């Protein structure tokens, strides 16, 4: 189970979302680029089945019957049961540890090799929009030396703005924090949820695998 947001339909790309190739020339055409985290820039060292079990324990400790065994469904239902904070912390505990032990992926390598954000000749301003908690995102960025390439105030996790992908609000928040407009920005991700968020937000989308193929 992918920690960020992959599901069995991740390889089915929504109509209207265009793939992007020719990395350098494409990126140069945007004012801002926002990246998904887990599965795109890094791979979190998280056993997501174990995370789901931890969340089920939160329900069980309160004698609550969980509506599903699927992790993100359990998180989505947590408000209705009045246990959102406890569920968030149960997930975040695994994510923070997994971020510290994460592996940087090839796209993260490429981003780290680019010039610091804002330098003349450097790629467009970059941010992160992730289904992982913001603290885990920040730990991963720091762990892998991505802080020069990614704007610190444009790291948006699921708990940053009160909604998460595929709702586009978190993506649009990251873009706004980069001082860009949605139509002048690109979102790079690895899941259908990422693609849908971009489509709903009016933001161009690139599959991480397509960029790596260049």
CATH number at residue 148: 3.40.50.1000
Higher pLDDT, 123 or 30: 30
Specify the number of domains making up the chain: 2
Mean pLDDT in residue range 83-107: 98
Give yes or no: residues 114 and 157 share one domain.
Answer: yes
Give yes or no: residues 39 and 52 share one domain.
Answer: no
Please, which pLDDT band fits residue 140 given cuts at 50, 70 and 90? Answer: very high
- pTM across the whole model: 0.86
Give yes or no: residues 107 and 200 share one domain.
Answer: yes
Give yes or no: residues 93 and 155 share one domain.
Answer: no
Containing domain of residue 149, as a range? Answer: 23-43+103-212
Give yes or no: residues 148 and 59 share one domain.
Answer: no
Q: Quick check: is 166 in a domain?
A: yes
Rounded-to-integer distance, Cα 58 and Cα 122, Å: 46
Q: Which of 96, 170, 177 lies closest to 133 in space, CA to CA?
A: 96
Decide if pLDDT at 180 tops 50.
yes
The one catalytic residue in 4, 10, 36, 190 is 36
**Percent of the chain beyond pLDDT 90?**
77
Give yes or no: residues 65 and 88 share one domain.
Answer: yes
Please, which pLDDT band fits residue 162 given cuts at 50, 70 and 90? Answer: confident
- How high is the pLDDT of residue 55? 98
| 61 to 56, 74, 75, 78: CA distances (angstroms) | 9, 14, 16, 14
To the query of whether residue 4 is one of the catalytic residues in this protein, the response is no
Rounded-to-integer distance, Cα 190 and Cα 174, Å: 18
Q: Quick check: is 1 in a domain?
A: no
Decide if pLDDT at 21 tops 50.
no
- How high is the pLDDT of residue 103? 98
Decide if pLDDT at 6 tops 90.
no
Decide if pLDDT at 118 tops 90.
no
Give yes or no: residues 169 and 82 share one domain.
Answer: no
Give yes or no: residues 69 and 28 share one domain.
Answer: no
Give yes or no: residues 55 and 107 share one domain.
Answer: no
Give yes or no: residues 83 and 37 share one domain.
Answer: no
- How high is the pLDDT of residue 8? 39
∠ Cα 38 155 42 (to 5°): 20
Give yes or no: residues 157 and 183 share one domain.
Answer: yes
Q: Quick check: is 5 in a domain?
A: no
Q: Quick check: is 200 in a domain?
A: yes
Averaged confidence pLDDT in the chain: 89
Decide if pLDDT at 183 tops 50.
yes
Please, which pLDDT band fits residue 10 given cuts at 50, 70 and 90? Answer: low
Tokens standing for residue 105: 């992926």
Give yes or no: residues 124 and 88 share one domain.
Answer: no
Tokens standing for residue 207: 């599959």
Mean pLDDT in residue range 172-185: 98
Rounded-to-integer distance, Cα 169 and Cα 21, Å: 26
């Amino acid at each position: 189970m992918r920690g960020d947001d992959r599901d069995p339909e991740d390889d089915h790309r929504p109509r209207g979302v265009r793939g992007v190739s020719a990395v350098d020339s494409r990126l140069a055409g945007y004012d801002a680029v926002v990246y998904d985290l887990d599965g795109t820039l890094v791979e979190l060292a998280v056993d997501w089945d174990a995370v789901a079990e931890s969340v089920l324990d939160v329900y069980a400790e309160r004698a609550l019957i969980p509506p599903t065994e699927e992790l993100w469904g359990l998180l989505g239902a947590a408000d209705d049961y009045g246990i959102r904070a406890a569920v968030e912390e149960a997930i975040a505990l695994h994510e923070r540890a997994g971020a510290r032990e994460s592996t940087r992926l090839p796209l993260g390598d490429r981003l780290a090799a680019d010039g610091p954000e804002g330098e003349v000749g450097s790629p467009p301003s970059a941010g992160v929009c992730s289904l992982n908690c913001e603290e885990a995102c920040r730990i991963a960025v720091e762990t892998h030396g991505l802080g020069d390439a990614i704007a610190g105030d444009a790291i948006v996790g699921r708990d940053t703005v009160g909604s998460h992908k595929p709702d586009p609000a978190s993506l649009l928040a990251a873009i706004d924090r980069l001082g860009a407009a949605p139509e002048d920005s690109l979102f790079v991700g690895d899941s259908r949820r990422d693609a849908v968020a971009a489509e709903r937000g009016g933001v161009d989308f690139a599959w991480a695998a397509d960029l790596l193929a260049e």
